Structure 1
Amino acid sequence: MCGRFSLTATPDEVRETFGLVELEGFPARYNIAPTQPILVVVSSDRREPGSNLPERQAVLVRWGFLPGWVKDPRDFPLLINARSETAIGKASFRAAMRHRRVLVPASGFYEWHRPSKESGEASQAYWIRPRHGRIVAFAGLMEIWSSADGSEVDTGAILTVSANRTIGRIHDRMPVVIKPEDYTRWLDCKSGEPRDVADLMVPAEEDFFEAVPVSNLVNKVANTGPEIQEPVGNSLPPAKAPVGKANGGQLSLF
């Protein structure tokens, strides 16, 4: 599950990482929350000069997925995550998995470890960032929703997968990470079927992320400064005993 993330890299760093032709400036964002605009990278119809590869473009979408067939958003849960294991077969995500796969640039994400009530322990927030310190690309889906009056809204969701052992100490789900060498294959929705990218939807390597305990400042959407990423400790919860495949569900805002 991914309910908050951050993008603090500069526009130049994002442009270079994803091979974008152009990218407008944007501020560092330390606490990106559902329903807010998020930056996604898509494959365009134009070709790179002197190459057969399609150009990549950056667009803004609303973080909260709405299938095109939804009549009234008030009657449909706004989904910010899609389970990678079942997205290809779900009516909500099937079309986007085939035609509108995107990359979501991020500097990392936040997750909360919520102990059982019996333990008496308080929840602990973690800032989970790539150890190499560079930009990471989450696998995402995009859908264009049209209202009855003809107006359109671009919406998006982040794909998740069962967490690796490291992140599993905090939560049983994590975002799907797409490696740079797989960007083109993931974005190729013209010749690449969902089954052709199924192998990319796996947990990140055990040492890819590091988890930093942070204060509860991140809990409030109004807190948007770098102080929310300040460490408050250096320990992870104990490793969970293996109990079989992790479970998780779609996260709804309603």
Structure 2
Amino acid sequence: MCGRLAVTLPNDAMAQLFAAQPANDLPEVPNYNVCPTTQVHTIRIEGGTRHLSSMRWGFIPRWYEKPNGGPLLINARAETIAEKPAFKTAARERRCLIPASGFYEWTKDSEGGRDPWFIHAHDKAPLAFAGIWQDWQHGEETLRTCAIMTCGANTSMSTIHHRMPVILAQQDWALWLGEQGKGAALLMQAAPEAHLQFYRVDRAVNSNRASGAHLIDAVDA
């Protein structure tokens, strides 16, 4: 799965990288501890143009009567997305990219303590996760929400967790966003072994209130 992110690329650089028009309400960066239900950066197509904008991380199905009216849907499984009522329409019609500098996963030690790991591109380039989005509305309240696609982990990542986010290569961004016709389903697979690196970080990041660049500093495993 994917339940915590780090985003360090400046907003103007992010807009340039993704060739997207930036909104005025983008989340502040750097943020080394982006948590579910907070706002995340997303790239989506509107009117034939890429837009960099902010969405709530936590997809809300239309039948929820309130944002916490059911399970928190921060991830969507690639293997079943076409069948799930909550996700299947968004998977066809409302796909997005969710950029990050890296993400965290956890293992447990012999006493049950949670040890965090930071995962990033081997060349430290920004990652682009495959995502889906939709607007949720109830009465006068409207929220634009998203979830990150996940797939089975590749061999190296499976030593930490059996799932991982679907990470898209730059040449595949247009296909996922629907700019290059059909075939996006073929992209929902694990990144190549050599694409990612990971290392242990301090347990300080276990708190969703923690902040600061030290959260991604390596510690002895």
TM-score in terms of structure 1 length: 0.81
Distance 1:65 1:5 in 2: 16
Q: Distance in 1 between matches of 2:112 and 2:143?
A: 41
Helix, strand or coil at the partner of 2:208: coil
Counterpart residue number, 1:225: 212
Q: Which residue of 2 aligns with 1:123?
A: 114
Paired residues for 1:231-250 under 5 Å: 231-233=218-220, 235=221
Which residue does 2:132 correspond to in 1?
141
Shift of 1:143: 1.3
2:60 to 66, 74, 88: 66
| 1:109 is the counterpart of 2:103 | yes
Aligned match of 2:185: 198
Q: What secondary structure, in the 3-state scheme, does the structure 1 residue paired with 2:60 have?
A: coil
2:166 to 176, 182, 186: 176
- Runs of 4+, deviation exceeding 6 Å: none
SS of the residue corresponding to residue 207 of structure 1 reads helix
2:177 corresponds to which letter in structure 1?
L
For residues 75 and 10 of structure 1, do their structure 2 counterparts lie closer, same or farther at Cα, with a shift above 3 Å needed?
closer
Instruction: Report the equivalent of 1:28.
Output: 30
Identity %: 34
| Structure 2: distance between partners of 1:151 and 1:92 | 19
Q: Secondary structure at the match of 1:139?
A: strand
Distance in 2 between the 1:57 and 1:108 partners? 22
Distance 1:78 1:224, change over 3 A: same
Give the corresponding residue for 2:15: 15
SS for the counterpart of 2:133 is: strand
Gaps of 5+ in 1: 46-53, 236-254
Query: 1:11, CA displacement in angstroms?
Result: 1.8
User: For residue 75 of structure 1, what is the aligned residue in structure 2?
Assistant: 69
Q: What residue number does 1:92 align with?
A: 86
Q: 2:185 & 2:108 partners in 1: Cα distance?
A: 30
- Structure 2 contact 97–131 (Cα < 8 Å) conserved: yes
SS at match of 2:15: helix
- Would you say the 8 A contact 2:21–2:52 is kept in 1? no
When the two chains are superposed, the root-mean-square deviation of aligned CA atoms in Å is 1.8
How many angstroms apart in 2 are the aligned matches of 1:74 and 1:164? Answer: 32
State how many pairs are aligned.
219
Match of 1:188 among 148, 154, 178: 178
Q: Render the CA deviation track for 1:176-208: whole Å, top value 9, x for unaligned.
A: 00111111110118953xxx2111010001011
Shift of residue 121 of structure 1?
6.0
Alpha-carbon separation, structure 2, partners of 1:190 and 1:178: 15
- Structure 2 CA distance for aligned equivalents of residues 13 and 136 of structure 1: 14
Using the TM superposition, name which of 28-37 and 72-81 deviates more. 72-81
Which runs of no fewer than 5 residues in structure 2 stay unpaired? none
Question: Normalized against structure 2, the TM-score is what?
Answer: 0.93
1:163 maps to what in 2? 153
Q: Deviations over 1:125-182 (max 9, x none)?
A: 10101111111100011011001x2321011110101000111000001000011111
Q: 1:30 and 1:191 mapped to 2: Cα distance?
A: 35
